[in-house]
Amino acid sequence: MAVITYLDAISQALREEMRVDPNVFLMGEDIGVFGGAFKVTKGFIEEFGEERVIDTPISESGFTGAACGAAIMGLRPVVEFQFADFIACAFDQIVNFAAKCYYRWGIPVPIVLRCPSGGGFRGGPYHSQNPEAWFTHVAGLKVVQPSTPYDAKGLLKAAIRDNNPVIYFEHKHLYRRIREDVPVEDYEIPLGVADVKRDGSDLTLVTYGAMVHACLEVSKRLENDGASIEVVDLRSLAPLDETTILTSVRKTGKAMVVHEAHLTSGFGGEVASIITEHAWESLDAPVKRIASLDVPIPFSPPLEDAVLPTPDKIERAARELLEY
């Protein structure tokens, strides 16, 4: 075991998979000589060379299309979007080609799309989005979003080894803030398996990404008042582990879904619907959702704080549910 950051976990997963599988290669803007906007791929071009660590032009549609072509020929490209927001430029290649290629022609597209996402660092409206719900709506895509270094490394390894296109959201606000022990030996975390980060009996908080840490903080606060809060980290949005969600909610009788993306049409609505449809008789209160306001993410620090979910906002809503 070794204590590493969330960023180091991603970097290690990439490096280890490239060492064991010569078909794995990287593409993206400034990932080679510069080492990546966040230095995830620092030193990679020196170890693997420019044929496997490819600096691309500023053309997301172009290099994503090229990566799809490489994938159908048997290679395993890992594409880095400098910010998740820019994935919109490659929407057609991902949604209308990569997602449908196996269904239409029986040809696997083993591509991983790394998307540094999320706010909290004053990046403004073009560098702070959480667009995961765009892609969970598309059949043929897998979507994951880890919250810890252990999960980040294990999920990325599983994503690279998967024969389907996988969109891998990594919250950049966690990069250097979260550390934990991670095994030195090889491991992977299966896609589609949620994790109960904290056991409880009074209320279930269903969440993922950076909001896992906010929910864990709230659960500790409420524990001081005698409340027992269970925190379910989805980790994988597509495929989704409905069993873990429903098992938790049937135990606690109350549920709140928390995510950083905008509230309206966010993935939390799907989770709330699943709970309402399949665990209705176990509920002692309406399912609540906490998410960002339906506005572009502001650059101003006070305004961004007002828009994004915070532990204080989550705590207030949780107390309302506990008292219902």
Pairing outcome for strands 112-117 and 166-171: parallel
CA atoms within 13 A of residue 222's CA, in its CB half-sphere: 30
pLDDT at 121: 86
Per-residue pLDDT tens for 33-78? 999 999 999 999 999 999 999 999 999 999 999 999 999 999 999 9
Q: What is the pLDDT of residue 100?
A: 97
pLDDT at 229 exceeding the cut of 90 = yes
- CA dihedral 52→55→59→60, nearest 10 degrees, is 50
The strand ranges marked E within the chain are 2-5, 24-28, 53-55, 76-80, 112-117, 142-144, 166-171, 179-182, 195-198, 203-207, 229-233, 236-238, 255-262, 288-292
Q: What is the CA radius of gyration of the chain?
A: 19
Q: Given this model, what pLDDT does residue 44 score?
A: 98
Point out the catalytic residue in the list 127, 171, 259, 262: 127
Q: Quick one: angle between helices 6-20 and 149-161, nearest 10?
A: 30
Average pLDDT over residues 101-109: 96
Q: In this predicted structure, what is the pLDDT of residue 92?
A: 97
Yes or no: say if 231 and 198 are a contact pair by the CB < 8 Å rule.
yes
Predicted pLDDT at 2: 94
pLDDT at 256 over 90: yes
206: pLDDT strictly greater than 90: yes
User: Are 208 and 147 in contact, with CB atoms under 8 Å apart?
Assistant: yes
Residue 18 confidence (pLDDT) above 90: yes
Please tell me whether residue 54 adopts helix, strand or coil conformation.
strand
Helix, strand and coil content of the chain, in percent to the nearest 5, comes to 40, 20, 40
Q: Which helix (H) or strand (E) holds 60?
A: helix 60-72
DSSP summary character for residue 85: G
The C-alpha atoms of residue 116 and residue 127 are separated, in whole angstroms, by: 9
DSSP code of residue 93: I
> How many Å apart are CA 21 and CA 19, to the nearest integer?
6
Whether 213 is catalytic: no
Q: Tell me: the pLDDT tens digits for 275-284?
A: 999 999 999 9
- Beta-carbon count within 10 A of 29 CB: 20
Q: Running DSSP on this structure, what letter comes out for residue 297?
A: P
Q: Decide: helix, strand or coil at residue 298.
A: coil
pLDDT for the residue numbered 269: 98
What is the pLDDT, as a whole number, of residue 307?
Answer: 97
- Mean pLDDT value across residues 212-221: 98
205 pLDDT above the threshold of 90: yes
Going along the chain from its start, the domains and CATH numbers come out as 2-182 (3.40.50.970), 195-323 (3.40.50.920)
Per-residue pLDDT band for 13 (boundaries 50, 70, 90) equals very high
The distance in angstroms from the start CA to the end CA of the chain is: 44
Q: Global pTM? A: 0.96
- Write down the pLDDT at residue 117: 98
Span 110-142, pLDDT tens digits: 999 999 999 988 999 999 999 999 999 999 999
Rounded CA separation 86/91 (Å) = 9
Instruction: Pinpoint the alpha helices (H) of 224-286.
Output: 242-252, 267-278
Q: Quick one: average pLDDT of 97-104?
A: 97
